[in-house]
Amino acid sequence: MSENPDLTNERASGTFETNAMAAVIYGSEKFAQRRREITEAISKIPEFQDSHPLVFMSREEKISEACRKLAVLSNYWNSLIDTSDEEEALHLYREVLGLEGHPLALHETMFIPSLIAQASDEQQEKWLGRAQRREIIGCYAQTEMGHGTNLRALETTATFDISTREFILNSPTITSLKWWPGALGKSANWSIVIANLIIKEHNYGPHPFMVQLRDEKSHEPLPGITVGDIGPKMAFNGADNGFLGFKNYRIPRENMLMRHSKVTSDGSYIKPPHAKIGYSSMVKVRSRMAMDQGLFLASALVIAVRYSAVRRQGYLEDKSREVKVLDYQTQQHRLFPSIARAYAFIFCGFETIRLYDQLLIDVQNGNTSGMADLHALTSGLKSVVTYQTGEGIEQARMACGGHGYSMASYISEIYGVAIGGCTYEGENMVMLLQLARYLVKSIEMIQNGKSRELGPMVAYLAENESEIDLNLGPNEYLKVFEYAARNQTWRATEKFQKLRNSGMSNEEAWNQASVELTRASRLHTRLYIMSTFINHVGSIVDQKVKGVLIDLLNVHVTYEVMDIGIYVQGLLSSNQMDLIRNQLYVSLETIRPNAVSLVDSFQISDMQLRSVLGRRDGNVYENLFKWAKSSPLNKTDVLPSVTQYLKPMMEKSKL
Ligand SMILES: CCCCCCCC/C=C\CCCCCCCCCCCCC/C=C/C(=O)SCCNC(=O)CCNC(=O)[C@H](O)C(C)(C)COP(=O)(O)OP(=O)(O)OC[C@H]1O[C@@H](n2cnc3c(N)ncnc32)[C@H](O)[C@@H]1OP(=O)(O)O
Ligand SMILES: Cc1cc2nc3c(=O)[nH]c(=O)nc-3n(C[C@H](O)[C@H](O)[C@H](O)COP(=O)(O)OP(=O)(O)OC[C@H]3O[C@@H](n4cnc5c(N)ncnc54)[C@H](O)[C@@H]3O)c2cc1C
């Protein structure tokens, strides 16, 4: 069937090449090209297609389908991608397995990275190759039923037995059961387990251990281990998140991951070079999250924008034909600022992935000085990005009207998976407060006359801006944001300090200032996102692409400043706010002809999108009918439930 002419016209009105834009989104022409090649190659392999729509499957079927594809994938892995390239591998996974989770999700994202960051050279020799060849399947078991956030209160113990040189693992209470780790329930046979290291009755706190959970031949749990699936979740049901308990389960001393902390055979403990070095796997995932969430948001927007260009409802001036709903200003206001955010998140994602890779090298060379900065940055970023992604996806769903609520749109699934990110890798409020610690410390440095020692990301906290040029360009908007973030950070810090000086304990003062502190963290992070977006656009060479991204940037800066209006009342007059509001409406109109091309540029395939509404060819209605007919409920005209219950009920009512 040919392409819906409404989409053809949209594509014709685009002012730039989508391949050139994809090269900007994905960091290089080479990677953008590789993505297309991988997608093309996969589309020719029928075993990679869903055997029927995932949304009609039970959990068991989803997991089985994911395992079937993983097995097929193992035959093609080396021929489809450069296996040393993490981004290629992730693209392959996204295309073939989608976003509902699968039994290798944690193997690749946390198990292998933990071995790389935390295992000694000898340990890597023993396990890393096996993991990379997928001879073993691993997961990351840290969270317990009773504690996820407060790692210091984890209850699982690993007690060193000097006589046998083994650790004895125990789960002393119900609440100490590991709870949530992905792929733990039914798939993984090994795990990185975070447990309290105890030597001679002294608790050295949580440390990582390499633990075999299941027999490598029979896959049965080993004696001393209780393991299973925690049941269905809001989404992500293709993954078997699990529980795990230990009863006097022994592992050799050599199974504590010993790149940084060590226990010698006589039971001596050697401290790591930085107290939080064992948290690196979390920082690794957090540093990926802006990218991954940006792609979730992008997926929902591809669906909503394409659909809005083929959905006609109501009239503007021309009464002879209904308009595309994308022409309504309210629809544009609902969707276009999110397109800008998706671009900005992906740009930030590339930046934090690069920073993590650099930090990993630095730490391996004994330099831990960058850890605090990256921890603060990624804590704030994961919190803001996951929250705004959730907001944006939900708006995209509503922008699709009734059909958005149908699983045919697939938006609810994207939403369910994406908002998991508000919780995993550190609950958002908690992570905002981690960044706030860093911001408060920065203010204290300024108060103590040490402004010059501030890092580049917080130097603006020491500056002073009281007036803004009315002729606003992106850099002036940045100044508006700096003003807001600076003001809020000072106010929140002063509130905290005042409470503390009034005699309150540090902890209580912190708690009573915490809402204000989280607001400071959000503004600081949004400032970082805006500044990364501006810098990125500044570096683009292709003038057509750059022109459109400047238009998109204008949507971004005007929308974001309007959104934080309450924080800039002392800086901007109501006339200036009106001016910005009008600039936003003009920017929405300017970007309108490029809207479809901007989402096409994400180059997310139909196979990955799984959306009837978001199809690239725009042939929504005939496929929606086809999709509904494939619902298992339509296999028969008269359901057994009707024969068994409704008919007798109706018959009885007749008497
Ligand atoms: C060949 C390559 C192949 C690759 C292929 C990859 C394939 C991938 C597969 C699929 C991808 C396809 C995409 C599909 C979509 C699917 C997406 C969904 C994926 C789902 C995955 C979910 C995985 C989830 C996993 C988890 O959730 S694991 C558990 C995470 N848990 C947490 O995050 C706990 C949060 N809590 C904490 O981190 C800490 O407790 C704390 C809040 C930081 C507090 O710690 P504490 O020790 O108590 O410290 P404090 O006293 O508060 O602070 C003291 C001090 O330390 C500093 N600090 C803290 N942390 C750090 C750190 N990390 N680094 C540096 N410094 C740190 C802190 O700032 C304080 O400093 P000051 O004293 O100076 O203020
Ligand atoms: C989809 C998914 C996948 C996951 N995968 C894994 C995995 O593979 N491995 C693993 O180990 N774990 C995993 N987890 C667990 C996850 O990391 C934790 O659930 C998460 O860190 C939050 O911790 P919690 O559940 O203890 O929340 P809680 O801390 O109990 O949060 C409850 C509320 O308390 C608030 N709160 C808690 N502490 C503070 C504080 N100090 N100050 C202010 N407010 C506070 C929070 O803000 C929140 O509002 C996964 C979770 C999900 C949802």
Write out pLDDT tens, residues 381-402: 999 999 999 999 999 999 999 9
* Binding positions: 143, 182
Is 232 a member of any domain? yes
- Residue 57 Cα, ligand 1 centroid: separation in angstroms? 32
* 477-564-495 Cα angle (round to 5): 110
For the CA atoms of 513, 515, 521, 526, what is the dihedral angle to 10 degrees?
-150
List alpha helices for 14-108, DSSP H. 18-25, 29-43, 59-80, 86-97, 105-106
Is 212 a member of any domain? yes
| pLDDT at residue 97 in the model | 95
Mean pLDDT across the stretch 70-94?
Answer: 94
Residue 144 sits at φ, ψ, to 5 deg, of: -115, 170
- With helix as H, strand as E and coil as C, how does 181-240 read? CCCCCCCCCEEEEEEEEEECCEEEEEEEEEEECECCCCCCECCCEEEEECCCCCCCCCCC
Q: What share of the chain is helix, strand, coil (3-state, %, to 5)?
A: 60, 10, 30
CA–CA distance, 257 with 118 (Å, rounded to integer): 6
Mean pLDDT across the stretch 215-241?
Answer: 98
Residues 250, 167 contacting (CB under 8 angstroms): yes
| pLDDT at residue 420 in the model | 98
Is 234 a member of any domain? yes
Asked whether 493 lines ligand 2 (CB < 6 A), one says no
Q: What is the ipTM score, two decimals?
A: 0.95
Structure tokens that stand for 344 in this block: 């900005």
CA–CA distance, 508 with 34 (Å, rounded to integer): 53
Is 154 a member of any domain? yes
With a cut of 90, say whether residue 472 has pLDDT above it: no
Is 298 a member of any domain? no
Nearest to 537 by CA among 556, 558, 561: 556
Nearest to 157 by CA among 213, 118, 227, 206: 206
With a cut of 90, say whether residue 101 has pLDDT above it: yes
| pLDDT at residue 470 in the model | 59
Is 610 a member of any domain? no
DSSP assignment, residue 644? I
Write out pLDDT tens, residues 271-288: 999 999 999 999 999 999
Asked whether 437 lines ligand 2 (CB < 6 A), one says no
61 in catalytic set:
no
Output the ligand 1 site: residues, CB below 6 A: 83, 86, 89-90, 93-94, 99, 101, 105, 108-109, 140, 142-143, 148-152, 182, 276, 279, 282-283, 292, 371-372, 375, 417, 424-426, 430, 434, 437
Q: pTM to 2 decimals?
A: 0.97
Could you give the 3-state DSSP secondary structure of residue 169? strand
Residue of 425, 444, 494, 589 marked catalytic: 425
Could you give the 3-state DSSP secondary structure of residue 14? coil
Write out pLDDT tens, residues 164-187: 999 999 999 999 999 999 999 999
Give the mutation target among 110, 293, 389, 437 for probing the ligand 1 site: most ligand atoms within 8 A of CB. Answer: 437
| pLDDT at residue 474 in the model | 87
**What percent of the chain has a predicted confidence (pLDDT) above 70?**
99
Neighbouring-strand partners of residue 160? 167
Asked whether 236 lines ligand 2 (CB < 6 A), one says yes
Residues 478, 463 contacting (CB under 8 angstroms): no
Residues 520, 488 contacting (CB under 8 angstroms): yes
Write out pLDDT tens, residues 482-493: 999 999 999 999
- Residue 180 Cα, ligand 2 centroid: separation in angstroms? 10
Structure tokens that stand for 599 in this block: 């989402």
CA–CA distance, 156 with 148 (Å, rounded to integer): 12
Total residue length of the chain? 655
Q: How many domains does the chain have?
A: 1
Is 164 a member of any domain? yes
Could you give the 3-state DSSP secondary structure of residue 280? helix
With a cut of 70, say whether residue 531 has pLDDT above it: yes
| pLDDT at residue 473 in the model | 82
Alpha carbon nearest to ligand 2 atom 44, residue:
430
Q: Which domain holds residue 241?
A: 138-272
Residue 194 sits at φ, ψ, to 5 deg, of: -95, 120
Dihedral sign of CA atoms 175, 379, 523, 474 in order? negative
Looking at the CA of 100, which ligand is closest? 1
For residue 257, what is the domain's CATH number? 2.40.110.10
Is 227 a member of any domain? yes
Write out pLDDT tens, residues 552-583: 999 999 999 999 999 999 899 999 999 999 99
Asked whether 149 lines ligand 2 (CB < 6 A), one says yes
